Amino acid sequence: MHLGIFTFNPFQENTYVLYDETGECVILDPGCSNVKEQKILDDFISSNELTPVRLINTHCHIDHILGNKYVSEKYKLGLEIHKGELETLKSGVLVGNAYGIPYEESPDPISFIEDGDKIVFGNTSLETLFTPGHSPASISFLNRETNILIAGDVLFRESIGRTDLPGGSTDTLLKSIKERLFTLPDETQVFSGHGPKTTIGHERVNNPFLRN
């Protein structure tokens, strides 16, 4: 499995394109918020001769859904989220207005992803991990072959996701990290919704929010 990584919108959100040798790809958390960012995403997909087959949000805060409508219409994809994120998705218009950010309303999801579901594209399979706390029903995606985890805003390099937004809970977030992520091998690479990548081993030792 390979990753295309793009930092988009005023929140500096990481958008991911996951793909393999078959050319099929999954677009995770499209944060593209203007024509320039849309073109960057499209150019990567076309230059690598990729075929997008799924559109997924790890969670539905505004910075992760700004490109949902564009990607859905451009690539004829239905949105997939955890059902617990539906209210957060629906609040996008109000949040966009509050921040003064132009937001084309996301389409409704066509299906819901649950804990343990397999996300399959090409020859690749991702395991869904239910990791709430930053948002009501954040989900992370693990590729065990490559030890790559897409963690959304659950875990960052030497930090954790904020919990002061509606549906957030510090206790729940810490439990998600300790029980679902820190059980993974130390060498697991963590790709977050903001900032640089890290590893489970590094965070186990160095993350100040997670020291016992």
Share of the chain above pLDDT 90, in %: 99
Mean pLDDT of 52-68: 98
Does residue 197 belong to any structural domain of this protein? Answer: yes
Average pLDDT, the chain: 97
Is residue 90 domain-resident?
yes
Q: Which tens digits make up the pLDDT trace of 95-132?
A: 999 989 999 999 999 999 999 999 999 999 999 999 99
Structural contact between residues 175 and 163, judged by C-beta atoms closer than 8 angstroms? no
Strand runs labelled E in the chain: 2-8, 13-19, 24-28, 51-56, 79-81, 109-112, 118-121, 124-130, 139-143, 148-152, 155-156, 159-160, 189-192, 198-199
Structural domain includes residue 211: no
- Measured at the CA of 139, the angle between CA 53 and CA 203, to 5 degrees, comes to 120
CATH code, 55: 3.60.15.10
Residues 113 and 81 sit within 8 Å (Cβ to Cβ): yes
Residue 212 lies in a domain: no
Domain count, the chain: 1
Decide if 112 is inside a domain.
yes
Give percent of the chain with pLDDT exceeding 70.
Answer: 100
Instruction: Determine the pLDDT at residue 211.
Output: 79
**Any domain includes 56:** yes
> What per-residue confidence (pLDDT) applies to 212?
64
Let me know if residue 85 belongs to a domain: yes
Q: Assess whether pLDDT exceeds 80 at residue 198.
A: yes
What does the block give as tokens for 98? 């509050």
Tell me, yes or no, whether 10 lies in a domain: yes
Q: Residue 180's domain spans which residues?
A: 2-206
Q: Is residue 98 classed as helix, strand or coil in its secondary structure?
A: helix
Q: Summarize the confidence of residues 182-204 as an average pLDDT.
A: 98
